[in-house]
Amino acid sequence: MISNELPDDLIQLIELLLEGSLDEAGHRELEFQLRHNPQWVPHVRQHLMISGLLEGAASEDSDFVGKTSSHVVKLAMEEEYEFVGRVTRTIMRRRLTYAILAAAAVFLIGLIPLFLNSPQESAKPSHLVATLTRMNERGEVISTTHIRAGMHVEAVDGLQRLDFKNRAVVAVEAPMSMRVVSEDEVILEKGRLNAWCPDTAHGFQVRTSSAVVTDLGTSFGVNISHDGREEFVVLDGMVQVEKGEEKVKLSEGGALESSLENPLKSVVFEPSDFRKTWPLSYGILATRGAVVPADPDIPAKVMQMESNDNVLVIPEKRQVPFTRAILAEINGPGTLPGEFGGGLYVIGPNPEKKLRSFLIRYNPVGTVSEENFLRFEGEVTFDRPVLAICAQLEALEQTDGAFATGSWDERYRGIELQQTFNPPDSVTLSADRRTVKVIFYAGASSDEVRVILEGN
């Protein structure tokens, strides 16, 4: 199909198109030439295919089959069956997991000879630096894509999450435009992002048109507003912001404004703009019902947050070494009270793993009268499986030392499994261990559970 009959100027236009350098006039010229010479269109088609193949698109992505099947079935079930789908999803997930695992295993086994036969090729740098997950406003995954160094990412709506190879996590709210330079650097052209960088990603950089922010062990946000103003906020840890000769170290609770025309300027710390991206960067994929993520702020303030209307999901410490046993009332799928009776399970340590935790807590402003119990029901879905849930005082206090970001002076902690005027509070961990559902009957005291997840 491909021949060398194409004129030189068309060849130049095709190449510039493929490398992303074709200007507006070039686009028009290319269209004009092809419209008047339709016999050349199939040649262009072949070049697009071969070029895409060389770029790694449509390649042996072992995840594609599993992800696509899972994604398609999930979307179809949710939209067509709605309520019934929620009930049956547990069964479907289990079946689907088996199907995906089987398909993935067959696929991977098929790839083994490829690697064995061509060790030199397999040693080449993959240039895949991150996985992009696109989500809609409801927190549902729309798609996942592998991102190579140099790729441009754009979106007009929804949330995007980039999981980098070095384990940095970047959540971006659309409308957004960003170039992924490498696994250590992105250029934000438009949008609002939150980055979280573990030890393995320290030094991660976000460039804007006027400045560079470098992670020094932290969670930070960058916002480029519609009028081009750039703002940097630090929610945890520290960053360095650099603009020309200026270098400023910014600690948690600090904020800077930057523009091309003016020097860096300290501004009031106002993290509420990051209400959507901050939870996502922490691994909260979606919340429903009365359960909502806490508003973004520094850890000491987040853990003290109160709300009369909602049960808050509050991030605690990340990257906690799993060197001590954990006591918990829930250690697998099921409901407390129900499959779990309230007894404590011991989960043995595994020093190779790190953990993170969240509090799911109803903590009203002031106190509510004992006669005025309120019912709260909702759920939260995390980006990884839950290891254990601590639901009562002993387990909560036993894990405070490792996970809490502040101290407690509450007498009543955890949930009530026996109440005089109401059914018991309950906590349910889904079959895939990612969704935690709570029903709290809240009165004079706060209700809370600690959800512990594997951090790596």
Q: Candidates 53-61, 187-195, 313-321, 427-435 — which segment interacts with other proteins by CB under 8 A?
A: 53-61
CB of 165 to other proteins, least distance (A): 16
Nearer to other proteins, 43 or 450 (CB): 43
Interface residue with other proteins, options 25, 83, 150, 209 (CB under 8 A): 150
Interface residue with other proteins, options 78, 85, 90, 127 (CB under 8 A): 127
Nearer to other proteins, 163 or 454 (CB): 163
Contact between 301 and other proteins (CB under 8 A)? no
Binders of other proteins in range 54-83 (CB under 8 A):
54-61, 64-69, 71-73, 75-76, 80
Nearer to other proteins, 27 or 86 (CB): 27
Nearer to other proteins, 109 or 268 (CB): 109
User: Is residue 432 a contact partner of residue 385, using CB atoms and an 8 Å limit?
Assistant: yes
Interface residue with other proteins, options 23, 121, 137, 245 (CB under 8 A): 121
Binders of other proteins in range 151-180 (CB under 8 A):
151-154, 156
Nearer to other proteins, 14 or 292 (CB): 14
Binding residue count for other proteins, defined by CB under 8 A:
87
Nearer to other proteins, 150 or 263 (CB): 150
CB of 386 to other proteins, least distance (A): 25
CB of 148 to other proteins, least distance (A): 8
Binders of other proteins in range 220-249 (CB under 8 A):
none
CB of 184 to other proteins, least distance (A): 15
Binders of other proteins in range 86-115 (CB under 8 A):
92, 95-96, 99-100, 102-103, 106-107, 110-111, 114
Nearer to other proteins, 58 or 393 (CB): 58
